[in-house]
Amino acid sequence: MTSQVANVCRSAYYHLSRIAKIRDSISTTVCKSLIHGLVTSRLDYGNAILYGISDRHMHRLEMVQRSAARIVRQIRRGDRQSMTTILRQLHRLPVRKRIDFKLLVLVHRAIYNGTPEYLAALLRRHTPPRSLRSAGGLLLEVPRVNMERFGRRAFACAGPTLWNKLPRNIRDNSNITQFKKQLKTLLFST
């Protein structure tokens, strides 16, 4: 994923530098729209495949997101402000949590709507061999993985692993809109 992350970062920094040059002459709303259209959309595009990448690559993507937040808020690099607070004010999840959010939404859609059928075929419900309290909790089976290829990053393994960590009340919610709201609340609080 080194070349993928490098290309995303290079493209994002190019657009950020162009936006930074005109930042004083545009409003915050226009700046947010520009950054979303040119930078954030590149970070989000296909980010489900970035699950489980190295911390070094994740840090590079987070630095892009932090630079974008600084430009929107017109904060200099040396200013001592918490980037977590700034991202929360902008209603933006950190990159790692955005990836988890996207994966969990894909799993939800595959379970309840069955929309991406090719993904739904990769998910199997966990059925314990004997009667347990967790049997009705809509848990998914995490398959054994081959570490030579994608390993734990594969959707068939990553999706159920994240899904099973969710609280039961969120997993049981079949309404996608409410599920997203509950999931964002949960991810912002952790």
pLDDT number for residue 13: 95
pLDDT at residue 100 is higher than 80: yes
Same domain, 170 and 134: yes
Same domain, 76 and 40: yes
pLDDT number for residue 149: 56
Q: Residues 92, 94, 97, 103: what is their CA dihedral angle, to the nearest 10 degrees?
A: 70
Measured CA to CA, the distance from residue 13 to residue 186 in angstroms comes to: 30
Same domain, 123 and 60: no
If one counts the domains in the chain, the total is 2
Same domain, 51 and 106: no
Each residue's pLDDT tens digit, 10-67:
999 999 999 999 999 999 999 999 999 999 888 888 787 888 888 999 999 999 998 9
Same domain, 160 and 106: yes
Q: Which residues form the domain of 178?
A: 98-189
Each residue's pLDDT tens digit, 137-174:
678 877 776 655 555 667 777 888 888 889 988 888 88
Residues in the chain: 190
| Of 126, 103, 125, 127, residue with least CA distance to 116 | 103
pLDDT at residue 134 is higher than 80: no
Q: String of b and e for 71-108 (b: at least 16 CB within 10 Å)?
A: bbeeeeeeeeeeeeebbeeeebbbbbbbbbbbbbebbb
From 42, 61, 92, the end of a domain falls on: 92
pLDDT at residue 130 is higher than 70: no
Same domain, 15 and 56: yes
H-assigned helices in 144-175: 155-165, 168-171
95 with 8: CB under 8 angstroms? no
pLDDT number for residue 174: 86
Same domain, 60 and 115: no
Measured CA to CA, the distance from residue 166 to residue 34 in angstroms comes to: 34
Chain CA centroid to CA 25, Å? 32
Sign of CA dihedral 141, 154, 59, 95: negative
Same domain, 103 and 77: no
Confidence of residue 135 (pLDDT cuts 50, 70, 90): low
Same domain, 86 and 120: no
Each residue's pLDDT tens digit, 62-98:
999 989 999 998 887 777 777 777 887 888 888 889 9
From 41, 62, 92, the end of a domain falls on: 92
From 92, 124, 158, the end of a domain falls on: 92
Same domain, 47 and 114: no
Mean pLDDT of the chain: 84
Token pair recorded at residue 173: 């919610």
Same domain, 118 and 148: yes
Same domain, 87 and 11: yes
Sign of CA dihedral 30, 32, 34, 37: negative
